[in-house]
A and B are shown apart, each in its own frame.
Chain A
Amino acid sequence: MSGNPLYILLCSGEHEKLQIAAMMASVGAVSERPVEVFVSMNAIFAFAKGSPTESRYRGGAFSQLLKDKHAPDAIALFRQGKQLGELKMWACSMALDVQGWETDRLEDGLFDGTLGLTRFLSDAEGGQLVTL
């Protein structure tokens, strides 16, 4: 039986928020809960293909702790969530347009496509929406 769908609107590029989004998405997915993640604004930069860890994950004091303690990599957690559960990820079409990126600039195998905010919010009416 599937649980109440979880919709994560991820806008922040801060490492700490990326990490908690990845944790929520992956744990939700392996708990047999459908999860959809919409990535926009500064968060899109963290998903640039091939970024070194240091430039991908920028944040405050807790970001450094996450790195020092070798916490699971956020991108890897999203991948695991997709492999093990019902996790869909969408790149914000506006964010890509403004940045001048196509989806081939994003990490391979993570995104199910591009989506507009209006459609995502409409879909999210059927579940729990969390904004980070």
Chain B
Amino acid sequence: MPAANFPGPLMELIAALKLVQPGDEVEVWSTDQGSAKDIPERVSKVRHELVGVSQDTNHWSIVAREAK
């Protein structure tokens, strides 16, 4: 189920990235277009790697890789 409006998906993504190993990828879904635009900006700011952003019929998928 997609996360709530911004910054809910960003917070969930950052929380999940703290739990995984370097090189692992985390995917978060959002119905909020703002998250699809804003999360990539935030992810690069905190030195994670953005793997990709894609749009499905009813949500955006944002994938990031733990790089630290």
State which of B4, B15, B46 has its C-beta within 8 Å of the C-beta of A72.
B4
The 9 closest A-B pairs by CB, nearest first: A72-B8, A30-B14, A80-B11, A71-B5, A31-B45, A72-B4, A27-B7, A32-B46, A84-B14
A83 at the interface (CB under 8 A from B): yes
| B positions within 8 Å CB-CB of A | 4-8, 10-11, 14-15, 18, 42, 45-46
Q: How many Å from the CB of B65 to the closest CB on chain A? A: 16
A70 pairs with B4, CB closer than 8 A:
yes
CA distance A31 to B42 in the complex (A): 6
| Chain B contacts for A132, CB-based, 8 A | none
CA distance A123 to B10 in the complex (A): 28
CA distance A6 to B46 in the complex (A): 16
Q: How many Å from the CB of A28 to the closest CB on chain B? A: 10
Q: How many Å from the CB of A15 to the closest CB on chain B? A: 14
- Chain B, residue nearest A32 (CB): B46
A selection of 5 A-B contacts at a CB cut-off of 8 Å is A30-B42, A31-B42, A31-B46, A77-B11, A80-B11
